Amino acid sequence: MKLAKNIVSIVTDVIINESEAIKNLVNLITDDFQHIIETILSCKGRVVITGIGKSAIVANKIVATLNSTGTPALFMHAADAIHGDLGMIQSDDVVICISKSGNTPEIKVLVPLIKSRGTVLVGMVGKLDSYLAQQSDYVLDVTVEREACPNNLAPTTSTTATMVMGDALAVALLECRDFSSADFAKLHPGGALGKQLYLKINDVYGGNEKPIVLPSASVKEVILEISSKRLGAAAVIDNAGVLVGIITDGDLRRMLNSHDSFSNLTAVEIMTLAPQTIDADTYATAAMALMQSKNITQLIVTKENAFVGFIHIHDLLREGIV
């Protein structure tokens, strides 16, 4: 084994090769793309994607993207299809067959069987004069000039181009469906991504203490309340239960700077009026955005405009909200 003379040059050539192939896909888009989108949107079945070899691996990725963005899809291996798995295809499905050459033996066997079921066949293919392209109802052209492989053999640039075309298909479909972040959250409840999309203040703040003082509370009472509840602030609530202000650590520091004596001061004299609040039914990401924009570390949580507690920035960070 010999060490390549210039690794950086090789890597650069690969990236340039693949990026230029992706850019060229724009020139390969025809009216078939729109017809495919319309067909999938109107079909009552699913999108079945099939392929063999590297095309099968790419097909699996495209299936995953479609499923996560609101288009029901499943993968069928081309070799397994001609040995029984063809039964998963229904007449109201749309089948996308991926093949660089379009002339793979398994594809040549599979295509007539698909068409005999009355299923719409889309060929995602790298040769327009191939068997697959000629037999398909619609064609997505993913032709590349050459592979990044120096022998022009290993599927590299071609698989990248095919994956990008699959992404274009998925994004076009989700936009046509008006697929929102709320829809996305329903399909991605797990992990940090899911939390960002579904976690609400109501799910997070409940474990916190509720530091509260009356407007007439002394500075000592305010300090003790803030210190004991460990949230860096206290809500100022009057006898009628109405939120009238907030006192934070910052308010206490400003008090020390502006008063030589504070023994006779009360909460109402040092509090901040009209404090930032957030409804408990609000998404946690909105709370983080508000804290960051206001450069604060806690928010008063309300329900129907009534004080119910505090949410601290540390609560959000622990949940993976950044």
Q: Residue 310: helix, strand or coil by DSSP?
A: strand
| Span 232-280, pLDDT tens digits | 999 999 999 999 999 999 999 999 998 888 888 999 999 999 899 999 9
| Res 4 pLDDT > 70 | no
Q: Give the pLDDT mean for 115-126.
A: 94
CA distance 152 to 159: 13
pTM summary value: 0.70
| Span 34-89, pLDDT tens digits | 999 999 999 999 999 999 999 999 999 999 999 999 999 999 999 998 888 888 99
Domains of the chain: 7-179 (3.40.50.10490), 201-318 (3.10.580.10)
Among 64, 88, 77, 74, CA closest to 166: 64
Are 149 and 133 in contact, with CB atoms under 8 Å apart? no
DSSP lists the bridge partners of residue 49 as: 75, 96
- Residue 186: what residue type? K
pLDDT of residue 197: 74
Are 49 and 119 in contact, with CB atoms under 8 Å apart? no
Q: Residue 127: helix, strand or coil by DSSP?
A: coil
